[in-house]
Amino acid sequence: MSASVTRPRFDFDAWVELARQDPQAFERKRKHIIETAIQGAPEQKQQRLRCLQWKLDKIRETSRTPMMACLQINRLLWENVTGEHGLLNSLQHLQSDQPGSQSQRKKAKIIPLHS
C-alpha cells in the first residue's frame, strides 16, 4: 500500500472571503498554491502542467463571466477525458492491445545478408 498524502484542508469560505475582500491577495495565494503543486510534480511533467495552467488562466481571462470560464474549463476537461486522444480512448486502446495480441505484433521483411 502507498502512504497517503496529507493535504491541507481546503476552506472554501475563507477563499471566498479573501476573494471578496482582497482580490489581489487571492490571486497571489492562488498562483502560489498552483506553483507549489507544479513544483511537487515529477520534473518531466512540470512543463506540461505549466502549459495547461497557462491555458486555464487564458480561459479565465478571456471569458466574459466566471460562469462562462467554468463552463469552458469543464468542456476542456471532458474533451480530455472522452475526446479522440482522451483518457477513455487511451484506456480502451490499452485494453484492446494486450501483450502478444495480433494487433500489437509487427511484421518485418527479412532481408538476406550476403558475405
What DSSP character marks residue 97? S
Letter for the amino acid at 103? S
Tell me: do 56 and 35 sit in the same domain: no
Q: Does 99 reside within a domain?
A: no
Tell me: do 32 and 51 sit in the same domain: no
CA 38 – CA 46 distance, rounded (Å): 6
Tell me: do 33 and 63 sit in the same domain: no
Give the domain extent around 71: 46-87
Average pLDDT over residues 15-21: 96
* Residue 27, C-alpha cell as written in the block: 490571486
Q: Does 15 reside within a domain?
A: yes
- The pLDDT-based confidence of 108 (bands split at 50, 70, 90) is confident
Q: How many domains does the chain have?
A: 2
Q: Does 22 reside within a domain?
A: yes
Predicted pLDDT at 70: 96
Q: Do the beta carbons of residue 69 and residue 63 sit within 8 Å?
A: yes
Predicted pLDDT at 33: 94
Tell me: do 15 and 29 sit in the same domain: yes
In the numeric block, the cell 476537461 is attached to: 77
- The pLDDT-based confidence of 84 (bands split at 50, 70, 90) is confident
pLDDT at 96 over 90: no
Tell me: do 16 and 35 sit in the same domain: yes
Tell me: do 32 and 62 sit in the same domain: no
Q: Does 115 reside within a domain?
A: no
Tell me: do 51 and 82 sit in the same domain: yes
